[in-house]
Structure 1
């Protein structure tokens, strides 16, 4: 870790498995200055658990209710800023970093001066050992970028939030996470906004993260597909439509994303149980997005 860096991990938790969270903290603490865990869960279980760690290493912000991932991230970022953090490492509560992940991310940031954020190559153990590719839109095509452990970085459209390392100065310039999205597309919107401000996003091939994306995969015709609950599909559809309304989002990205959204939502309506519930939530999400209606769970 560079001697002048003060990296603070912002972990957003919602009803976490505390054994898994302990595994994450044990992997993170040797790599960062400190951890702030922002708990969206009701009750004080995470707050009590966090109190068993040294106060100089772990701080807990208990929200008492689910305020959404963006609000929780912003609260954690505010705390990191107040502590003089130079960088923020965003983490979901169930992600496990490799022992050198942060060092590899920081090395990439230093190598690419125009980088607004860098993120790791992640593996979902439920889908085998293959690492998920990075994604970039070129013209009207979405390209999947597979890379190897040679230390190179690839420029991408956006990064998933978990494992994303962002300099505090970039956050000061680009702004906070969009809280009215609540969940889904929060990381996509911020990355596209950062790119519009002149920054670039990079996936770092030598940085590794274990991360579960979505619910249990759906198997269809011998292949596995990413799946979410009907409620998550509401937010996905709604927030995609809200993002398409933004004039600064590149038109080609909107077209490619909209086509893939249509295919994805059609698949889940036809294949994923309960199909009618998926149809209801997706339709409502699309309508609310077209109406410009945002907000949290109460607004769904």
Structure 2
């Protein structure tokens, strides 16, 4: 069985649109699991009304009793599916996306050829049709930053250029993998809460010989932008905390401390007119260094 997971937080309309596009175009998806991450805005009621009206036998709604972030919400769905559905493959997909063709079958074919990998799609802007990312991005760990690969390119240009420059990680916007892989490497680290969860997961998987691939035949459309431009205290704190915690795990505590100073400097320069936001970023950067990692 092939299972798609869609995590919702206060966006029932977008989530339903995403699910309906998968039901229409992705015949090789056998079951869709929608996880409401304790939205407390009526999302769960909206989903239940939709399911009552449509009477889908292959869609399950789960209500997470707490908002446990991207990793915790998806892990909640993964655990339930592993216990109740006997899945062979999973596809984690953002709720603010949709497909207009069968974007899953190319991912499935890649996994059937080699199930020891994470695979991802081309993510296109719903507004322009141009790339938001060629599957994922490049990391600059010492700065705590990442760059989306192929951003704003046309599909034609991306096919010529980006296969020569594989991303360091696959975006969690579209991430497919075998169920057996989760049993081997475990689930996502929920201590991140926001940001870097799927990057950490893929880097941990490398220790088991798991690779990553972009499947250009798989394409989905994303509303808005993948670029995190909402300059809030929440964003700066959790984004910087995640970056330095990631660095501590994979590059060591000294590297993490250096990156915390550099990331704090970058945040301060960007937010020099907003000292409260800058301070949130600085606190997050050094909190990530202090957090425990295995």
Bucket of the pairwise TM-score, normalised by the shorter protein: 0.7 to 0.9
Deviation readout 1:80-104 (Å, 9 max, x if unpaired):
2121111111122212134221012
* 4+ residue segments displaced more than 6 Å: none
What is the match of residue 84 of structure 1?
86
- Gap change, CA 1:122 and 1:175, over 3 Å in 2: same
- Gap change, CA 1:153 and 1:213, over 3 Å in 2: farther
Paired with 1:182 and 1:206, the residues of 2 have a C-alpha distance of 31
The equivalences for 1:132-281 within 5 A come to 132-133=133-134, 134-136=136-138, 146=150, 147-148=158-159, 155-212=166-223, 226-246=229-249, 249=250, 258=259, 262=262, 266=265, 268-271=267-270, 275-281=274-280
Tell which deviates more after alignment, 280-289 or 43-52: 43-52
Paired with 2:166 and 2:115, the residues of 1 have a C-alpha distance of 11
Gaps of 5+ in 1: 1-5, 218-224, 295-300
Paired with 1:160 and 1:279, the residues of 2 have a C-alpha distance of 26
Paired with 2:63 and 2:291, the residues of 1 have a C-alpha distance of 30
Deviation readout 1:241-266 (Å, 9 max, x if unpaired):
111111xx268xx79x949x946x65
Matched, 1:49 2:60: no
Q: Judge conservation of contact 1:108–1:153 (CA < 8 Å) in 2.
A: no
> How much does 1:276 deviate?
1.9
> How much does 1:271 deviate?
4.1
> How much does 1:34 deviate?
1.3
SS for the counterpart of 1:156 is coil
Paired with 1:87 and 1:26, the residues of 2 have a C-alpha distance of 20
What is the match of residue 297 of structure 1?
none
Superposition CA RMSD, Å: 3.6
Q: Give the TM-score normalised by the residue count of structure 2.
A: 0.78
Matched, 1:122 2:153: no
Matched, 1:63 2:64: yes
SS for the counterpart of 2:133 is coil
Q: Judge conservation of contact 1:68–1:183 (CA < 8 Å) in 2.
A: yes
Paired with 1:177 and 1:160, the residues of 2 have a C-alpha distance of 14
Q: Judge conservation of contact 2:267–2:281 (CA < 8 Å) in 1.
A: no
> How much does 1:278 deviate?
2.1
What is the match of residue 154 of structure 2?
none
> How much does 1:66 deviate?
1.7
> How much does 1:268 deviate?
5.0
Paired with 1:286 and 1:48, the residues of 2 have a C-alpha distance of 38
19, 22, 47: which one pairs with 1:25? 19
What is the match of residue 155 of structure 2?
none
Q: Judge conservation of contact 2:122–2:131 (CA < 8 Å) in 1.
A: no
- Gap change, CA 1:274 and 1:105, over 3 Å in 2: farther
5, 8, 32: which one pairs with 2:3? 8
Deviation readout 1:6-62 (Å, 9 max, x if unpaired):
2111111110041x2222111112421111111113437232222232352221111
Matched, 1:38 2:39: no
Q: Give the TM-score normalised by the residue count of structure 1.
A: 0.77
Deviation readout 1:134-169 (Å, 9 max, x if unpaired):
43569x9x99754329xx797432111121111000
SS for the counterpart of 2:93 is strand
SS for the counterpart of 2:68 is coil
